[in-house]
Amino acid sequence: MKTLSCASATSDPKRGSYLCSLLIALSLICSIYFVGSAFFGKQYKERLTAWGVIEAMQTSDICKDHCRPSGSEALPQGIVTKKSNYKMRPLWGSSLKDDNPLPSMSLLAIAVGIKQKAIVNQIVEKFPLSDFVVMLFHYDGVVDDWRDLSWSNSAIHVSAVNQTKWWFAKRFLHPDIIAEYNYIFLWDEDLGVENFNPRRYLSIVKDEGLEVSQPALDPSKSTVHHQITARIRNSIVHRKILKFRGNSKCYGNSTSPPCTGWVEMMAPVFSKAAWQCTWYMIQNDLIHAWGLDRKLGYCAQGDWTKNVGVVDAEYIVHLGLSTLGVFNGSEVSISYVPCDRIIVGMDCYNCLFFPALLFVLELISKGWSSVTNSYAVQFYWCATYLLH
């Protein structure tokens, strides 16, 4: 094989010399191009990377400024504390030893009256103080009479006369305050807990992936308003019911309340994420929360047919006692129920789904002048307003 040379490229010496010079020049230009491309390309990439970092830092700084809580802009970022908890602090002495992170805990909040003190004590004693913070909402204004209970000084006491647990929850269970608690038990006071263990309950809830749940009700001892809350024997959890009679039929493929995706309001349990959503759903004028229960699926962090359920393995008894709203042994009379825009916005939302049967049965049996059931009265005024 012959080697190509400038001399053999042409018989004309001058022309051959010109071609050799041209080839050498082209080789030098190509070499300079490739070397320069590698060098300047590296510098360009480094510069782009630096610009990206700078831009990211600038964006981060802008985000920090815009995402800071309102009112904290004038403060150094390092001292801004966005969240809190219910951990009590010593009045005297150093609190440095208490600055360790809280252990994994949950919150039990109950609306209570002194008449149900014994029942409430049984409930609270089921919840280990090492795992739960206890918060009592005193709707009758009586606080001091609870001091003789062993756990009372460890509990948080909040008092406001004639307010329901939803009024308290909206004002004292803000998501930023309870952000350190994994689960929120927002319970009524008339619950029997003989067959309930909160630790086992939470273990089941976590295993089943339930974001909104409640313990099942013992149907033989409880006041059961809805079939979905009744305990199913030999079951751990159920998420739906089958019902082939009545107006609201439920089949295996049903995907909405009253067949699936909701729990009642006497003993709901929320995950931290579910409560953050639920808190925003609670209206400031919400009273009994009738109707809200069937909307909780929106806060289930996904498929409400899977993430909302009733725990059968750990069950309670709903005693169905008349507590808040009862004065001197009788329920509120019709004269205390105004018919205006406020009551419609408040109570129609609360009682729209409450069965009209209460009102109808009492009206038939006693006559309108004798109707004293507050639920029936609320239903009557809601229906009257909406029909007109």
Return all residues near 181 (Cβ < 8 A) that are at least 6 apart.
85, 105, 106, 107, 133, 272
Question: How does pLDDT run across 42-66, given as a tens digit for each residue?
Answer: 565 566 565 565 555 555 555 555 6
Write down the pLDDT at residue 335: 34
Cα–Cα nearest to 248, from 224, 266, 268, 226: 226
Task: Supply φ then ψ for residue 158, to 5 degrees.
Answer: -125, 130
The total number of structural domains that make up the chain: 3
Write down the pLDDT at residue 381: 47
pTM, rounded to two decimals: 0.69
For the chain, give the longest Cα–Cα distance: 130
Is 376 found in the same domain as 314? no
Query: Is 136 a domain residue?
Result: yes
> Alpha-carbon distance 198 to 86, whole Å?
20
Helix, strand, or coil (residue 134):
strand
CATH code, 131 = 3.90.550.10
> Alpha-carbon distance 13 to 103, whole Å?
93
Using a 10 angstrom Cβ sphere, with 0-12 exposed, 13-18 middle and 19 or more buried, the burial of residue 210 is buried
Distances 31 to 60, 243, 322 between C-alpha atoms, Å? 43, 83, 94
Query: Is 15 a domain residue?
Result: no
Is 336 found in the same domain as 304? no
Helix, strand, or coil (residue 162):
coil
Question: How does pLDDT run across 161-188, given as a tens digit for each residue?
Answer: 999 999 999 999 999 999 999 999 999 9
| Average pLDDT of every residue of the chain | 79
Query: Is 110 a domain residue?
Result: yes
Is 369 found in the same domain as 264? no
> Alpha-carbon distance 77 to 18, whole Å?
72
> Alpha-carbon distance 223 to 216, whole Å?
12
> Alpha-carbon distance 316 to 301, whole Å?
26
**Range(s) of the domain holding residue 345:** 331-387
Cα–Cα nearest to 332, from 271, 297, 366, 377: 377
Q: Any idea which of 37-51, 298-312, 324-338 has the lowest mean pLDDT? A: 324-338
Strands 132-138 and 191-192: unpaired
End-to-end CA distance of the chain: 108
Query: Is 297 a domain residue?
Result: yes
Is 344 found in the same domain as 285? no
Is 342 found in the same domain as 312? no
Query: Is 218 a domain residue?
Result: yes
Cα–Cα nearest to 200, from 287, 269, 151, 290: 269
> Alpha-carbon distance 63 to 58, whole Å?
9
Question: How far is C-alpha 241 from the chain's CA centre?
Answer: 24
Return all residues near 252 (Cβ < 8 A) that are at least 6 apart.
240, 242
Using the predicted structure, report yes or no on whether residue 16 has a pLDDT greater than 60: yes
Query: Is 309 a domain residue?
Result: yes
Write down the pLDDT at residue 267: 96
- Extract the tokens encoding 265: 């309001």
Is 173 found in the same domain as 109? yes
Is 342 found in the same domain as 310? no
Residues in the chain: 388
With the C-alpha atoms ordered 157, 160, 162, 163, is the resulting torsion angle positive or negative?
A: negative
Q: What is the DSSP letter of 250?
A: B
With the C-alpha atoms ordered 172, 198, 215, 159, is the resulting torsion angle positive or negative?
A: negative
Is 351 found in the same domain as 252? no
Strand-pair partners of 310: 214, 238
Is 159 found in the same domain as 254? yes
> Alpha-carbon distance 213 to 260, whole Å?
12
Using the predicted structure, report yes or no on whether residue 9 has a pLDDT greater than 90: no
Contact (CB, 8 A) for 211 and 296: no
Cα–Cα nearest to 268, from 166, 179, 174: 166
Contact (CB, 8 A) for 290 and 215: no
Contact (CB, 8 A) for 163 and 137: yes
Write down the pLDDT at residue 126: 98
Using the predicted structure, report yes or no on whether residue 254 has a pLDDT greater than 90: yes
Is 204 found in the same domain as 140? yes
Is 138 found in the same domain as 165? yes
Query: Is 192 a domain residue?
Result: yes
Using a 10 angstrom Cβ sphere, with 0-12 exposed, 13-18 middle and 19 or more buried, the burial of residue 48 is exposed
Is 355 found in the same domain as 294? no
> Alpha-carbon distance 370 to 363, whole Å?
8
Query: Is 9 a domain residue?
Result: no
Q: Any idea which of 5-14, 68-77, 156-165 has the lowest mean pLDDT? A: 5-14
